[in-house]
């Protein structure tokens, strides 16, 4: 017999010592402290904290080369078609957790995948968990464009930081765009802040469109939320302003291109020639990925924000680089060396789970260039030997093809 203790305070429910995660859907995942994985159930407007079994720590350098992820996952659910909902890495373990829905009923499933190309389904019915109900959830009957449930936007992104879970999404309030803050272990307290922005591309103050991807950055010595919205304004908000019951206006610091939905955003660092810099990687469903230096956000913090119309197609506000990560659906930090991505490889129409180095952010074997020809030689070309060959050798080894490394002589 399973016993649940239910506590209600201020209209918020939370379950303690629950021994079954009664999950009806999964929209987003977040890696929590120690052995905790957070799972957002949009149908029930709840977030579950699953207790995972202990896992060994692994040093940086693990690589993923799963080039047919669809088959790997589908085999776990009797051949049903799967749709990837989200992916996160369990920090330090090289374990990748992938949430999917499958079959005509869109049944939720959670898998843990290793670099050995094996997947194991997590038994949600037996997973030890606690949960919290998200108050003031959006309309359960409403739809967008007659097809997408409004309730499915209860949680559009979810990140763990310093003892708190930050949950972006919608509420049923007048200002629907909402940022929730929940401490873990779960208790009765739940902070809700409504957020509005000026969207330069739309020439409009927006109070309903939700944050689609978010991360954090220290700016001016204080922590900020960095948020990307559809079509793609980039916004910063001091965490100190995100208080229960507050209504805040984020500062729009950049417009990164129209006709796009952000897919994921993570923070990371790179060291080059002894200098370490902090960045955000924003991957998009409809555009190339954006490499955003935190130094650019710092410069934008002290300038006036964008408060006037920005013509469609104009990218303005921050100087950034782009990364060749087309087709990426989800991205996370694998370790200090690499990202891991779930992507739809467009030429082969293949769902894949692959690691990609943070320095170059591409895979050599995606391309057929001069270097791919068997009779190409680095011999006698000092520039190629010094600058190109070491990186290509490392990529070939990471991508499982060490036998294709060419000799210099």
Tens digit of each residue's pLDDT (9 = 90 or more) over 233-243: 999 999 999 99
Give the pLDDT confidence of 339-348 residue by residue, as tens digits. 999 999 999 9
Mean pLDDT confidence for 338-361: 95
Band (139; pLDDT cuts 50, 70, 90): confident
What is the side-by-side order of every strand in the sheet holding 29-31?
Answer: 5-9, 12-18, 129-133, 46-51, 36-41, 29-31
CA–CA separation, 83 and 86 (whole Å):
9
Rounded Cα distance between 124 and 175, Å, is 34
Q: How confident is the model at residue 313 (pLDDT cuts 50, 70, 90)?
A: confident
- Contacts of residue 348, Cβ cutoff 8 Å, sequence gap at least 6: none
The whole-model pTM stands at 0.93
What number is the average pLDDT over the span 183-205? 95
Enumerate the β-bridge partners of residue 169.
178
Q: Which residues of 353-372 are buried (b: 16+ CB within 10 A; e: fewer)?
A: bbbbbbeebebbbeeeeebe
CB 242 within 8 A of CB 225: yes
Domain residue ranges of the chain, discontinuous segments joined by +: 364-404
| Residues 252 and 241: beta-carbon distance below 8 Å | no
**For residues 366 and 162, what is the distance between their CA atoms, to the nearest angstrom?**
38
Percent of the chain with pLDDT over 90: 89
């Amino acid at each position: 017999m399973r016993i649940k203790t239910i506590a209600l305070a201020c209209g918020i429910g939370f379950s303690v010592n629950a021994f079954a995660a009664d999950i009806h859907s999964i929209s987003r995942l977040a890696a929590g402290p120690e052995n905790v994985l957070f799972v957002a159930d949009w149908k029930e407007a709840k977030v579950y904290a699953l207790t995972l079994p202990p896992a060994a720590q692994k040093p940086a350098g693990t690589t993923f080369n799963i080039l047919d992820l669809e088959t790997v996952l589908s085999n776990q659910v009797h051949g049903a078609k799967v749709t990837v909902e989200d992916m996160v890495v369990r920090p330090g373990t090289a374990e990748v957790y992938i949430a999917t829905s499958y079959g005509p009923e869109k049944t939720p499933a959670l898998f843990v995948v290793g670099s050995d190309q094996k997947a194991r389904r997590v038994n949600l019915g037996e997973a030890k968990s606690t949960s919290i109900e998200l108050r003031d959830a959006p309309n359960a009957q409403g739809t967008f464009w007659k097809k997408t449930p409004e309730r499915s936007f209860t949680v559009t992104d979810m990140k763990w930081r310093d003892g708190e879970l930050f949950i972006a999404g919608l509420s049923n309030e007048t200002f629907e765009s909402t940022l929730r803050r929940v401490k873990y272990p779960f208790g009765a307290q739940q902070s809700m802040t409504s957020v509005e922005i000026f969207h330069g591309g739309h020439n409009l103050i927006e109070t309903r469109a939700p944050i689609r991807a978010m991360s954090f950055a220290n700016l001016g010595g204080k922590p900020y939320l960095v948020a990307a919205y559809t079509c793609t304004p980039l916004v910063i908000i001091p965490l100190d302003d995100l208080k229960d019951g507050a209504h805040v206006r984020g500062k729009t610091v950049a417009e990164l291109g129209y006709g796009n939905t952000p897919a994921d955003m993570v923070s990371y660092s790179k060291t080059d020639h002894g200098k370490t810099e902090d960045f955000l990687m924003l991957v998009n469903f409809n555009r190339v990925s954006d490499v955003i230096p935190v130094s650019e956000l710092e410069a934008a913090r002290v300038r006036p924000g964008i408060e006037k119309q920005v013509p469609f197609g104009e990218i303005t506000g921050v100087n950034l680089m782009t990364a060749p990560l087309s087709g990426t659906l989800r991205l996370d930090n694998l370790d200090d060396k690499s990202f891991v991505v779930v992507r739809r490889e467009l030429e082969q129409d293949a769902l894949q789970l692959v690691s990609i180095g943070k320095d170059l952010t591409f895979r050599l074997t995606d391309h057929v260039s001069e270097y791919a020809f068997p009779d190409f030689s680095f011999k006698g070309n000092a520039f190629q030997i010094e600058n190109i060959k070491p990186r290509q050798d490392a990529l070939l080894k990471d991508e499982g093809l060490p036998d294709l490394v060419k000799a210099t002589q």
